[in-house]
Structure 1
Amino acid sequence: MEFASYLAGERWSDHPSCTHPLLAGLARLVNDHISDDARPGLAELVPSVIGLTGDDPRLDARIALRCATTALPVVAHDRQLAMAVSILSAEHVLAQVEGRPAGLEARSRAAFEQVPDAAHWAQTFGRGLRISARGFRRYAAPNTVQLAVRGIAQACVPDPDPLLRDLLAGAIADCRALLHGDPAEETSVDPVRWAEACRLTRGRQSA
């Protein structure tokens, strides 16, 4: 995130104001848990996080939901239960904030279909469970992000690196779609600052 702060013209910091705190936290966790060989590839995503911030509580719910739906099918059993509950909680918050009936989106349904036992347990456990948008933002969302990234990194899969990168890319796209309506929109970056940031971090200049 230091890279993002520099490109945005802020002081050098891993907590830049140009990026939503939970999204920045996710980026730091992915950076810390991805392999050394795969880490340079994350630099290509850095410009995309610039400007993705705001007070909309749906941002926290979207980021947490992306993390939980990505992690649920691959993490260990004890973490699957937590991820399943997180999916239901995030869906509840989104429905609450948007003033619509609660329900599962396609990604959530697909994740639950891959782990039906965890889904059944969560739906039984969470029956009647209610969480406020404020409480979700403060406690549940950060915990979901941490558990998801650590769970994916430790999962019994051939290579967790693509999952971690896709998780971050997906969360960025979700935030951009919510804030700007276009998940594929790219952020323009001053090429001089990009080159200088790459030099300072010894990163790649290919993005």
Structure 2
Amino acid sequence: MNMLKGNSPDPMPVPSLMPVLSRGKHRTPRSGACFMEFASYLAGEAWSDHPACTHPLVASLARMVNDCTSDSSRARLVPLIPSVIGLKGDNPRVRLLIAVRAATAALPVSSSDHQRALAVGILNCERQLEGLDGELPEGLEARIRTAFDAAPETERWAREFISSMGAWSRTKFTDRTAETIIRVSVQGIAEACTPNPDDRLFELLSGVIEDATRVLAPVEAEPAPVAPPVDRRSDRARPVPAHARG
């Protein structure tokens, strides 16, 4: 199991008794495993690519990254698998952080067909997060700015589009909305004319896991203050001093 420790991006050998990462869904570990099937295996759950041990949107992105990563680079995803086990919860920030992470990673390299949808998604996530917290998480504003600087005309179009849609732009942001943004983002990165799509996909999955961990990781409760010991002697009747006797 040492192969799962550490966060080195280099491909790591997988013992023969463990499943081997490959594209798609698999009936048993003997035929291989996708990222989330491997997670279900390590978590001791029933074999599934939708295990209960991981937030559905983290799992969805992991499946997409697994399938869009080339066969020669997929093994480098293995060290990330243990970090998604137990990563679950219902905090509404998670879907927003995952979606905006994916969209900002994909916008600069995606085709124009994808860029407009991604830009609208980024602005929607930005508004939703500000509505929840009053401000954006640290570092997110700079990441959004960097993404838009790579496609200024697309940003201008997206802002005009949202403004023209009025009430539509204030509709509820759901898991389905996030799922659509994730799908367009991963596809955009995988199809991009860049020399390193596998690296970008790996960094996207790593970043999403970090974002989700910050929100979903259980916070250790501070120990309750210990009350000072009670001096039971103070409850006993004390003799009255002689000078106070009547």
Q: State TM-score, norm by structure 1.
A: 0.81
SS in 2 for 1:105: helix
Q: Is 1:130 the counterpart of 2:165 in the alignment?
A: no
Aligned to 1:85: 120
- Of the three residues 178, 182, 185, the one matched with 1:145 is 182
Distance 1:117 1:175 in 2: 31
1:49 corresponds, among 45, 70, 84, to 84
**Which of 115, 120, 142 in structure 1 is aligned with 2:151?**
115
Q: Is structure 2 residue 210 aligned with structure 1 residue 176?
A: no
Displaced runs of 4 or more, over 4 A: 101-104
Quick one: which amino acid aligns to residue 70 of structure 2? S
Amino acid at match of 2:150: Q
DSSP 3-state at the match of 1:40: helix
SS at match of 1:35: coil
For 1:29 and 1:131, the matched residues in 2 are separated by: 28
Distance 1:88 1:9, change over 3 A: same
Measured in 2, the distance between the counterparts of 1:180 and 1:16 equals 18
In the alignment, which of 97, 108, 132 is matched to residue 73 of structure 1? 108
Superposed displacement of residue 131, structure 1: 3.5
Amino acid at match of 2:201: L
Gaps (5+ residues) in structure 1? 183-207
**Correspondence for 1:105:** 141
RMSD value, Cα: 1.9
Bigger RCO of structures 1 and 2 (CA < 8 A, at least 6 apart): 1
Paired AA for residue 169 in structure 1: S
The answer to whether the 8 A contact 2:104-2:143 is kept is: yes
* In structure 2, C-alpha distance between the alignment counterparts of 1:124 and 1:53, rounded to whole Å: 36
SS at match of 2:173: helix
Aligned length: 179
Distance 1:8 1:181 in 2: 18
Using the alignment, how far apart are the partners of 2:80 and 2:109 within structure 1?
Answer: 24
TM-score between the two structures when normalised by the length of structure 2:
0.69
The aligned residue for residue 57 of structure 2 is 22
> Higher helix proportion, which one?
1
Structure 1 contact 34–164 (Cα < 8 Å) conserved: yes
Q: Is contact 2:95–2:175 with CA below 8 Å preserved after alignment?
A: no
Larger radius of gyration: 2
Task: State the one-letter code of the partner of 2:202.
Answer: R
Q: 1:48: Cα distance to partner?
A: 0.8
Matched-pair contact (CA < 8 Å) for 1:96–1:102: no
Following the alignment from structure 2 to structure 1, what is the Cα–Cα distance between the partners of residues 60 and 43? Answer: 17
Give 3-state SS (helix, strand or coil) of 1:147's partner: helix
Shift of 1:137: 2.0
Q: 1:181 to 1:84 in 2, by over 3 A?
A: farther
Which residue identity is paired with 2:73? A
